[in-house]
């Protein structure tokens, strides 16, 4: 890339100032102007600026402008790295616009020039897109290649998480046996690394597999393990998912007190993890769903019984 013209450099400075002021839209416009200054004399420099502008346009919810900037960057230069960045950005724009097919097509165009780590991360995006589009065979293929590439480049922890997503895709594809095999491998690897967050995610997938098979006992055990590991990791989202699953399982078994209690404990615990208001916002809708489903009287009865159990436990007496 040749030396940046003074006018273009000034426009880039203005773009940086706009970005620091929290205005990605104006920052993107200045970068487009800077790219125009480069013109045809420095196609790679122009394409780099346009790719950067595309990211900022997307962040500013200007999807059409983002697509135009990224496509122009793609068309402007033969530099493979710059074209790859433009292709990835075009994929992001298409994905955020609800077009997974176009998003996947651009990622496939970005793959050939990527280094091993970059290729793995593009494949992860592809696996997610293919799964979202219901193409689970393609999702599994991309996920397997991504996990292998990550393992081969020393990113074992990231590979475990990709394989867990692969397990979910296999389950969605109607292959619970293969999903179980993949998840058990992931859990073993996560235990070896003492990776509580990965263990929580793995137990959640194992729970989903058990539920698909109608094994509520195994599902309950997996949910309990997921909840414990999520708490150990300080991970709020998997903790909530596990607590909600335990509540659903208790409700299915006719244990309304247990269902209420699972969410009541989650309210307090998540308040400790993410703050009282955030914890409340996460759990309260689930409790309101129970109240609506059971009726106010039955809900209040379950809550009272749960509170009596807690008081009895504190006082060392049998609950009523």
Domain at 154, CATH number? 1.25.40.10
Listed range (45-54, 208-217, 235-244, 296-305) with the worst mean pLDDT: 45-54
CB neighbours of 280 closer than 8 A, spacing ≥ 6?
267, 271
Range of the domain at 305: 216-223+234-320
Over residues 57-114, the pLDDT tens digits come to: 999 999 999 999 999 999 988 888 889 999 999 999 999 888 988 999 999 999 988 8
pLDDT at 3 over 70: no
How many of the other CB atoms lie within 10 Å of CB of 187? 23
Over residues 16-32, the pLDDT tens digits come to: 898 899 999 999 999 99
Angle among Cα 25, 26, 27 to the nearest 5 degrees reads: 90
User: Which pLDDT score, from 0 to 100, does residue 41 have?
Assistant: 76
User: Which pLDDT score, from 0 to 100, does residue 319 have?
Assistant: 62
What's 317's DSSP letter?
A: S
Is residue 246 domain-shared with residue 198, that is, in the same domain? no
Percent of residues, the chain, with pLDDT higher than 90: 58
Domain count for the chain, please give it. Answer: 3
87 in any annotated domain: yes
194 in any annotated domain: yes
pLDDT at 2 over 80: no
Angle among Cα 46, 51, 57 to the nearest 5 degrees reads: 120
Is residue 15 domain-shared with residue 83, that is, in the same domain? yes
User: Which pLDDT score, from 0 to 100, does residue 37 have?
Assistant: 85
Decide if 164 contacts 204 (C-beta within 8 A).
Answer: no
3 in any annotated domain: no
- Rounded to the nearest 10°, the torsion over CA 274, 279, 282, 285 is -170
Q: How far, in Å, CA of 113 to CA of 126, rounded?
A: 15
Res. 320 pLDDT band, cuts 50 70 90:
low
Mean pLDDT calculated for residue range 31-47: 85
Is residue 84 domain-shared with residue 136, that is, in the same domain? no
pTM of the model: 0.70
Is residue 150 left, alpha or beta, with left meaning phi > 0 and alpha meaning psi from -120 to 50? alpha
First to last CA, the chain: 79
User: Which pLDDT score, from 0 to 100, does residue 1 have?
Assistant: 47
Q: How far, in Å, CA of 87 to CA of 148, rounded?
A: 23
The residue count of the chain comes to 320
211 in any annotated domain: no
Is residue 243 domain-shared with residue 316, that is, in the same domain? yes
Is residue 274 domain-shared with residue 192, that is, in the same domain? no
Of the residues 72, 106, 140, which one is the last residue of a structural domain? 106
Decide if 229 contacts 200 (C-beta within 8 A).
Answer: yes
Is residue 76 domain-shared with residue 148, that is, in the same domain? no
pLDDT at 137 over 60: yes
Helices (H) and strands (E) in the chain, counts: 16, 0
Over residues 150-192, the pLDDT tens digits come to: 888 888 888 888 888 888 888 888 889 989 999 999 999 999 9
φ, ψ (nearest 5 deg) of residue 32:
-65, -40
Q: Distances from the Cα of 14 to the Cαs of 19, 23, 31, 33, 65, in angstroms?
A: 9, 11, 9, 11, 19
User: Which pLDDT score, from 0 to 100, does residue 300 have?
Assistant: 97
- Rounded to the nearest 10°, the torsion over CA 285, 287, 292, 294 is 160
Q: What is the mean pLDDT of the chain?
A: 90
What's 39's DSSP letter?
A: G
> Which three-class secondary structure state does DSSP give residue 101?
helix
User: Which pLDDT score, from 0 to 100, does residue 136 have?
Assistant: 84
Q: How far, in Å, CA of 267 to CA of 284, rounded?
A: 8
Over residues 183-234, the pLDDT tens digits come to: 999 999 999 999 999 999 999 999 999 999 999 999 999 999 999 999 999 9
């Amino acid at each position: 890339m040749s030396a940046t013209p003074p006018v273009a450099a000034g426009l880039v400075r203005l773009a940086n100032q706009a970005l620091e002021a929290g205005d990605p839209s104006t920052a993107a416009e200045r970068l487009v102007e800077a790219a125009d200054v480069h013109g045809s004399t420095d196609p790679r420099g122009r394409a780099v600026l346009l790719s950067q502008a595309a990211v900022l346009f997307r962040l500013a919810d200007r999807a059409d402008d983002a697509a135009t900037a990224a496509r122009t960057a793609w068309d402007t230069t033969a530099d493979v790295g710059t074209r790859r960045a433009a292709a990835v950005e075009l994929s992001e724009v298409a994905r955020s616009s609800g077009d997974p097919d176009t998003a996947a097509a651009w990622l496939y165009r970005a793959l050939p020039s990527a280094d091993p780590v970059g290729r793995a991360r593009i494949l992860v995006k592809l696996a997610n897109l293919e799964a979202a589009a219901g193409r689970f065979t393609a999702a599994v293929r991309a996920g397997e290649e991504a996990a292998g590439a990550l393992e081969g480049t020393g990113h074992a922890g990231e590979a475990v998480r990709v394989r867990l997503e692969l397990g979910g895709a296999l389950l969605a594809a109607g292959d619970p046996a293969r999903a179980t095999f993949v998840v058990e491998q992931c859990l073993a690897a996560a235990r070896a690394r003492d990776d509580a967050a990965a263990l929580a995610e793995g137990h959640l997938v194992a729970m989903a597999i058990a539920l698909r098979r109608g094994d509520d006992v195994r599902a309950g055990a997996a949910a309990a393990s997921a909840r414990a590991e999520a708490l150990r990791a300080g991970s709020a989202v998997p903790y909530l998912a596990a607590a909600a699953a335990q509540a659903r399982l208790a409700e299915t078994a006719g244990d309304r007190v247990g269902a209420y209690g699972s969410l009541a404990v989650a309210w307090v615990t998540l308040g400790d993890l993410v703050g009282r208001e955030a914890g409340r916002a996460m759990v309260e809708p689930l409790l309101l769903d129970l109240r609506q489903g059971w009726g106010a009287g039955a809900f209040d009865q379950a809550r009272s019984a749960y509170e009596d159990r807690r008081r009895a436990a504190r006082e060392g007496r049998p609950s009523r």
